[in-house]
C-alpha cells in the first residue's frame, strides 16, 4: 500500500520543483520591475513629482503589464530583449534606426531576435503624445510600460542569445540574476542617486543602455560558472515556502557570494535603471512642452480598458507565454 503512495508523492514533488522555477521566471522579476517604477518617481523634478506620487500605486502595479501581455499577444515577447549575437558579432554594426535594421535583416529577423531598443523609442513617443494630449490615463499607461522596457534593457541577459545561460550549461541563470538577487538584497542596495536628466536622443540612449548591458554579459556568465565550480554543491540550493508550496531556489549564501563576485553589478544596473526611467519620463514631459500636471486627475480607467486588462490577467493566470520565456 505504501509503495505507490511514496511514488506518487515523489513524482508530485519533482513536478512542483520543475514547475515553480518556471512560474517565477519573468523579466527582472515582478519584484524588481515594481521597485524600479516606484523609486523612479522620487528622482523626478518637483513639477512632475506630485502627479506621479498621487498615482504611485498604478505605476507600481502596472510595471509588469508588459510581461503579462506576453501571455495574450504573440508580438509582445521580443519587445523585451535583443539577442545581439544573432544580429552582428559587434553591437556597433547593428543599424540604430528601425527602418535601417528592417532593410538590413528583414522584419521577421527582428521579431525573432528582439527589438527592445526600438520598443523603448516607440513607447517614448507614445508618452510624449499622451502628455501633449493631457491624457492622464495614457500618460500613466505609457509611463508604466516605458519603465518596464527600460528596466529590461538594463539586464545583461536581455541582450544575449545565451539569455538563460542555456548555451553554457547554466540554465536558470536569468531568474537567478534578475529575481533571486534583488529579492534577497534590494533592501541593502543604495538605489537612489541623481535627479532625472534630459535625454537628447531617446533611441541613441536606448542603444547606450543595451550596449552597457551587453558588455556585462560575459561577467554574468563566467562568474557564475566560476562560483559553481568552487561552491560546495550541497549548499548551492535551499528550499523555501511560498504560500502552501515548497520551492527550490539558490541558497542565500550562494546568492550573496555571486553578488559579491560581481561587485554589486545588480545594484548598479538597478540603480541605473531607476535614473533612466525617471529621465525618460522627464524628457517626454519636456518634449511635450512641459504641460502643467497639477490639474491632471488621478487615473480612471475606461470600461474598455478594464476589459482588456482583465483578459490579459486571465491569460497570464492560465500561464502560457506566446514566444520565449526570457
Ligand atoms: Zn519584460
H helix intervals, 62-159: 65-69, 98-105, 107-113, 116-132, 136-153
pLDDT value of residue 297 = 66
Q: Each residue of 19-45: pLDDT tens digit? A: 444 444 455 779 999 999 999 999 999
Q: Report CA(27)–ligand 1 centroid distance (Å).
A: 4
pLDDT of res. 202? 98
Ligand 1 centroid to 148 CA: how many Å? 6
Architecture of domain 2-318: Orthogonal Bundle (1.10)
Q: How far is the CA of 80 from the centre of ligand 1 (A)?
A: 5
Question: Mean pLDDT throughout 262-283?
Answer: 97
E strands in the chain: 237-242, 245-250
Whole-angstrom Cα distance, residue 78 to residue 65? 15
User: What is the CA(297)–ligand 1 centre distance, in A?
Assistant: 28
Highest mean pLDDT: which range of 2-16, 23-37, 57-71:
57-71
- 11 C-alpha to center of ligand 1: Å? 32
Which ranges of the chain would DSSP assign to H, the alpha helix?
Answer: 2-24, 29-40, 46-54, 56-61, 65-69, 98-105, 107-113, 116-132, 136-153, 173-175, 181-185, 202-215, 217-230, 252-261, 265-287, 303-318
Centroid of ligand 1 to alpha carbon of 34 (angstroms)? 12
- Distance, CA 8 to ligand 1 centroid (Å)? 36
- The fraction of the chain above a pLDDT of 70, given in percent, is 90
Q: Does 317 have pLDDT greater than 90?
A: no
Q: Kindly report, residue by residue over 177-217, the tens digit of the pLDDT.
A: 999 999 999 999 999 978 999 999 999 999 999 999 999 99
pLDDT higher than threshold 80 for residue 16: no
Mean pLDDT, the chain, as a whole number? Answer: 90
- Give Dmax (Cα) for the chain: 75
Q: 283 falls in which pLDDT band (50, 70, 90)?
A: very high
152 CA to centre of ligand 1 in angstroms: 6
Distance from residue 41's CA to the centre of ligand 1 (Å): 20
- Please give the distance, rounded to the nearest whole angstrom, from the Cα atom of residue 295 to the centre of ligand 1: 32
Confidence of residue 299 (pLDDT cuts 50, 70, 90): low
pLDDT value at residue 250 = 97
Q: Which residues contact 267 (CB under 8 A, 6 or more apart)?
A: 185, 189, 190, 191, 259
pLDDT, one tens digit per residue, over 140-187 is 999 999 999 999 999 999 999 999 999 999 999 999 999 999 999 999
Instruction: Tell me what pLDDT residue 311 has.
Output: 84
pLDDT at 296 over 70: yes
Distance 68 CA to ligand 1 centre (A): 9
Average pLDDT, stretch 113-130? 98
State how far the Cα of 116 lies from the Cα of 60, in Å rounded to an integer. 21
- Expressed in angstroms and rounded, the spacing between residue 12 Cα and the centre of ligand 1 is 30
**CA–CA separation, 36 and 274 (whole Å):** 5
Q: What's the 4 CA to ligand 1 centre distance in angstroms?
A: 42
Expressed in angstroms and rounded, the spacing between residue 151 Cα and the centre of ligand 1 is 8
Instruction: Tell me how far apart the alpha carbons of residues 114 and 103 are, in angstroms, rounded to a whole number.
Output: 16
Q: Residue 77 Cα, ligand 1 centroid: separation in angstroms?
A: 8
What was the pLDDT predicted at 54? 92
**What average pLDDT does this structure show over 273-296?**
95
CB 34 within 8 A of CB 63: yes
For residue 174, how far is its CA from the centre of ligand 1 (angstroms)?
Answer: 12
pLDDT beyond 80 at 245: yes
Output the CA 154–ligand 1 centroid distance in Å: 11
Give me the pLDDT at residue 238, please. 96
> Is residue 254 over pLDDT 90?
yes
pTM above 0.85, yes or no: yes
Predicted local confidence at residue 27, as pLDDT: 57
Amino acid at each position: 500500500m505504501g509503495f505507490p503512495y511514496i511514488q506518487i508523492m515523489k513524482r508530485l514533488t519533482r513536478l512542483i520543483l520543475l514547475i515553480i522555477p518556471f512560474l517565477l521566471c519573468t523579466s527582472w522579476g515582478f519584484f524588481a520591475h515594481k521597485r524600479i517604477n516606484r523609486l523612479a518617481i522620487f528622482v523626478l523634478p518637483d513639477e512632475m513629482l506630485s502627479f506621479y506620487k498621487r498615482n504611485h500605486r498604478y505605476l507600481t502595479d502596472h510595471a509588469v503589464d508588459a510581461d503579462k501581455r506576453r501571455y495574450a499577444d504573440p508580438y509582445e515577447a521580443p519587445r523585451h530583449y535583443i539577442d545581439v549575437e544573432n544580429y552582428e558579432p559587434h553591437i556597433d554594426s547593428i543599424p540604430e534606426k528601425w527602418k535601417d535594421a528592417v532593410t538590413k535583416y528583414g522584419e521577421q529577423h527582428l521579431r525573432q531576435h528582439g527589438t527592445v531598443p526600438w520598443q523603448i523609442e516607440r513607447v517614448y513617443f507614445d508618452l510624449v503624445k499622451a502628455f501633449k494630449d493631457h491624457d492622464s490615463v495614457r500618460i500613466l499607461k505609457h509611463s508604466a510600460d516605458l519603465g518596464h522596457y527600460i528596466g529590461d534593457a538594463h539586464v545583461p541577459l536581455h541582450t544575449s542569445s545565451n539569455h538563460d545561460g542555456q548555451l553554457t550549461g547554466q540554465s536558470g541563470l536569468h531568474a537567478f540574476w534578475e529575481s533571486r538577487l534583488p529579492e534577497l538584497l534590494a533592501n541593502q542596495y543604495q538605489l537612489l542617486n541623481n535627479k532625472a536628466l534630459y535625454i537628447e536622443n531617446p533611441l541613441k540612449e536606448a542603444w547606450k543602455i543595451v550596449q552597457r548591458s551587453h558588455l556585462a554579459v560575459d561577467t554574468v556568465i563566467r562568474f557564475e560558472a566560476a562560483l559553481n565550480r568552487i561552491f560546495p554543491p550541497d549548499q548551492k540550493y535551499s528550499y523555501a515556502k511560498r504560500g502552501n508550496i515548497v520551492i527550490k531556489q539558490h541558497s542565500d549564501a550562494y546568492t550573496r557570494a555571486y553578488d559579491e563576485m560581481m561587485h554589486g553589478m545588480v545594484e548598479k544596473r538597478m540603480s541605473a535603471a531607476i535614473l533612466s526611467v525617471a529621465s525618460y519620463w522627464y524628457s517626454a514631459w519636456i518634449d511635450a512642452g512641459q504641460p502643467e500636471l497639477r490639474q491632471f486627475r488621478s487615473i480612471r480607467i475606461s470600461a474598455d480598458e478594464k476589459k482588456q486588462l482583465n483578459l490579459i490577467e486571465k491569460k497570464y493566470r492560465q500561464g502560457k507565454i506566446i514566444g520565449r520565456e526570457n
